[in-house]
Amino acid sequence: MKRFISILLILCLALSLTACGKGKDSGKEKDSATGQASAKTEQPDYTGGQIVGSDLTGKGGARLFWAQPVELPDEGATVRKAVKAGNEVFLYARTGDPLNTQGGDPCFYFLGANGTVTKVEHIQPGQIVTIGSGTDGSAYILFTDINGNPMLDRLQGGEVQSVAPMGFLADRLEDIWDLTVTDGGYLAETPSGILCYDLDGNLLKELGADRASCQLTQNPSELVLSIVKEGNTEFQVLGPDYEATASYEVPIQIYYPISGSRDGHIFYEDAGIVYDLDFTTGERTAYANQQASGGTGDFLYLADDLYFETADKQPALYTLAGEEAKEIQYLKLAIYDPEELTDLSDYIRQFNSFSREYRIEVVNYGADDEQGGEQTGLQRLTADILSGNTPDIYDLFSINAFSFMDKGLLEDLTPWFESSEAISLEDLTPSVVDVLKYKGALYGLVPAYRVDTLYGPSNLTDPGTWSFESFLDLANNTTQSLFGPWVTKADYLRLLLTRTGGAYLDLENARCNFVDSSFPAMLALADKVPAEMIDGWCDDYGWIFTGQQLFLLREGDLYDLEIAKAVYSGNMTVLGFPSQGSGIALDPELYLGMSSSSEKKEGVWSFFEYLLSDSFQNDPPIDSLPVKEAVLEAKLDKALARNAEAIQTGEMKAVAGFADDHQIYEIPYLPAVPEEKEAVRDMIDRMDCIDVCDDALYDLVLREATPFFQGGISAQQAAENIQSKVSIYLAEQYG
């Protein structure tokens, strides 16, 4: 239900932007302290280093950097925040569990551009609120003392100096994300805006009511406020009283600007490229190909050939790659739906940091749609394929995967597994491999996944006799909601196409049966499903607990299994969606295919082997089930022990359910038992379908079902119309 092609766009910029200055000083900078106009700084050209392209035609491009990890002197220390302090980076780290915000001991360091780490001994009896920077190049620590009173310490030259009590922030400590110290006061960034105080703690003003569209950036000698507006971003250079001394607009929305290389500049990241933007003119220069360099987006500029980032809470300096970078081969990964980049970015970053032979770059075909209209990107992708200018790797969520398989555009991975010394098909979960096969070939790779299933009340259902008939009998004779407030008619229709084991749709044989089957009766149940998600304070946990909902569609893992057991008050069984098979679906976190016409298949396979390696499978960036069997078993054992301990210690006390006009139900967890691991293992082994659909076919079916949803025709008539249209579509696409 979650993998629709969405024409949401993240790559929407032209290489040349124009800026409109306001007032007579729009072509010059003003000194942030005096408000006087000063000479404009020169735009950097960032020469040197290997330039790598950012799309298939070679347009764009930026330099490649090498990641040089920095070792911290305290064992187990992980970085929680980093700020620029003069020409150094100030790091706040903690030992212990990285997921525990205040766990372990706090550690503070200065990191120089040469990689030297200097530990700062700072004793604080309370808690760290945040670290910040000052316009004087110092670093600052905002913390609470033993009585909970906010305090501020200044750090410069390895010395710690107490500044002042910060009692005026006492009521806002939980809201403060960042703190900037100036000669005239303090700027505290909060979700509601940027609070401007003088040195005595008097609130002077509040900048920006919406924190998401208002950001503060500190350049070498100026403070810059950026405000995202409709279609553009306004940059205001602030004076000592925090009033704008100059204002500029650029026709692009920049939500997360980063301190610039010099006054009048900011950095920002777009589609894996870090750009240096002169906001006084609108000109931008590509500084680094962050994605190909293995970067994460946590960027601090140090020099024209050096920047800092944290990767997986570990610090690293990125140095400009030299001549040796010319030997690197670049692999193009094509996406159409930019939402998929969220899942892909961590995988790609880890591989790009690991590999010295290959680098992956993402080509977002969806970007063309904003420039040229709906479907332009898909047309360009099709044109590239026909012309032989194909990507090396496809994100199979972004395209019609089954059609690509049918047309021979994807490589069968079976021979690659057979010849690999690092991984074999026998190492992978058999049900995942079986589900992914299409016409006997394995075209897709899924390194991590989730299991989707259906839970129901055990007193009304029997998994041994579960079928279309028993489901229809129960569903037609209940006044309860079937799937709750979050499953719409469109969602239900997609379930009928993807979870029913080929009963209605068989792509491999280009056949369908929507008429002489249970489909009309199953479709008729859409009358019991809402047209839109139900708003308000309600969810299926509360509805099931209060007897208002019959079935629960959720993941098949230990966590959701225990929630299902709790909300059904122990009266729960695993059913799977009604199907001629199990109705338990493979829900890939990542779904990749190798282009059959790629000239760099060895590089693609290197990436695939990396995703299946023990190191990656044991610690993937996404919390899901690993496809490698040995790792999966260990993870299930660990999850069972963790859940049991969390319930026993009281860390997990109850499920919060919402129903009946805002009333909150606290649903007690039931004890975790070893049999739950076997239940999850059983669901994994029984998976027989995939939560991936031919989206064009789905749109066709939805279009023909809509008149029934609106009450214009019967379910039988809709089924006949669907049969007619889908038969033609299958003959054209899969015949």
Confidence bin at 440 (pLDDT 50/70/90) = very high
Supply the angle between the helices 558-567 and 674-686 in degrees, to the nearest 10: 110
Structure confidence by residue, pLDDT tens digits, 186-223: 999 988 789 999 999 999 988 876 545 788 999 999 99
| Confidence at residue 432, expressed as pLDDT on a 0 to 100 scale | 98
Confidence bin at 125 (pLDDT 50/70/90) = low
| Confidence at residue 5, expressed as pLDDT on a 0 to 100 scale | 27
| Confidence at residue 2, expressed as pLDDT on a 0 to 100 scale | 33
Query: 563 by DSSP, 3-state: which?
Result: helix
Q: What is the mean pLDDT of residues 599-606?
A: 96
Q: Is the pLDDT of residue 59 over 50?
A: no
Beta-bridge mates of residue 660:
none
Structure confidence by residue, pLDDT tens digits, 651-665: 777 888 888 777 778
| Confidence at residue 54, expressed as pLDDT on a 0 to 100 scale | 44
| Confidence at residue 92, expressed as pLDDT on a 0 to 100 scale | 92
Q: CB of 463 within 8 A of CB of 575?
A: yes
Mean pLDDT value across the chain: 85
Q: Is the pLDDT of residue 442 over 80?
A: yes
Mind giving me the DSSP string for 230-249? TTEEEEEEE-TTS-EEEEEE
| Amino acid of residue 438 | Y
- Give the 3-state secondary structure of 20-69: EEECCCCCCEECCCCCCEECCCCCCCCCCCCEECCCCCCCCCEECEEEEE
Query: 687 by DSSP, 3-state: which?
Result: coil
Q: Tell me which residue of 663, 117, 598, 158 sits closest to 394, measured CA to CA.
A: 598
Q: Rounded CA gap, 423 and 419, in Å?
A: 9
| Confidence at residue 145, expressed as pLDDT on a 0 to 100 scale | 87
Residue corresponding to tokens 């098949």: 556
Query: 131 by DSSP, 3-state: which?
Result: strand
Q: Which two tokens stand for residue 376?
A: 């332009």
Q: Express as a percent the part of the chain with pLDDT over 70.
A: 87
Which position has the higher pLDDT, 5 or 173?
173
| Confidence at residue 55, expressed as pLDDT on a 0 to 100 scale | 44
| Confidence at residue 34, expressed as pLDDT on a 0 to 100 scale | 32
Structure confidence by residue, pLDDT tens digits, 499-540: 999 999 999 999 999 999 999 999 999 999 999 988 777 889
Instruction: Give residues with Cβ within 8 angstroms of 509, minimum separation 6.
Output: none
Residue 195 burial by CB count (10 A; 0-12/13-18/19+): exposed, middle or buried? buried
Structure confidence by residue, pLDDT tens digits, 716-730: 999 999 999 999 999
The torsion angles phi and psi of 395, rounded to 5 degrees, stand at -80, 110
Q: CB of 139 within 8 A of CB of 155?
A: yes
Structure confidence by residue, pLDDT tens digits, 310-367: 877 789 999 998 777 777 888 988 887 656 666 677 788 888 877 888 988 888 777 6
| Confidence at residue 267, expressed as pLDDT on a 0 to 100 scale | 94
The torsion angles phi and psi of 91, rounded to 5 degrees, stand at -115, 135
Q: What is the mean pLDDT of residues 400-414?
A: 92
Q: Rounded CA gap, 269 and 271, in Å?
A: 7
| Confidence at residue 313, expressed as pLDDT on a 0 to 100 scale | 76
| Confidence at residue 49, expressed as pLDDT on a 0 to 100 scale | 61
Confidence bin at 16 (pLDDT 50/70/90) = very low
Residue corresponding to tokens 């669901």: 683
In the chain, what are the domains?
Answer: 18-62+215-321 (no CATH), 71-207 (2.120.10.30), 352-448+589-626 (3.40.190.10), 449-587+634-694 (3.40.190)
Supply the angle between the helices 340-354 and 601-611 in degrees, to the nearest 10: 100
Query: 528 by DSSP, 3-state: which?
Result: helix
Q: Is the pLDDT of residue 47 over 50?
A: yes
Q: Rounded CA gap, 639 and 451, in Å?
A: 15
Confidence bin at 547 (pLDDT 50/70/90) = very high
Q: Is the pLDDT of residue 398 over 70?
A: yes
Q: Tell me which residue of 371, 373, 372, 380 sits closest to 399, measured CA to CA.
A: 380
pTM of the full structure? 0.75
Q: What is the mean pLDDT of residues 590-597?
A: 94
Quick count: other Cβ atoms within 10 Å of Cβ 205? Answer: 12
Q: What is the mean pLDDT of residues 487-494?
A: 96
> HSE (CB half, 13 Å, CA atoms) of 280?
24
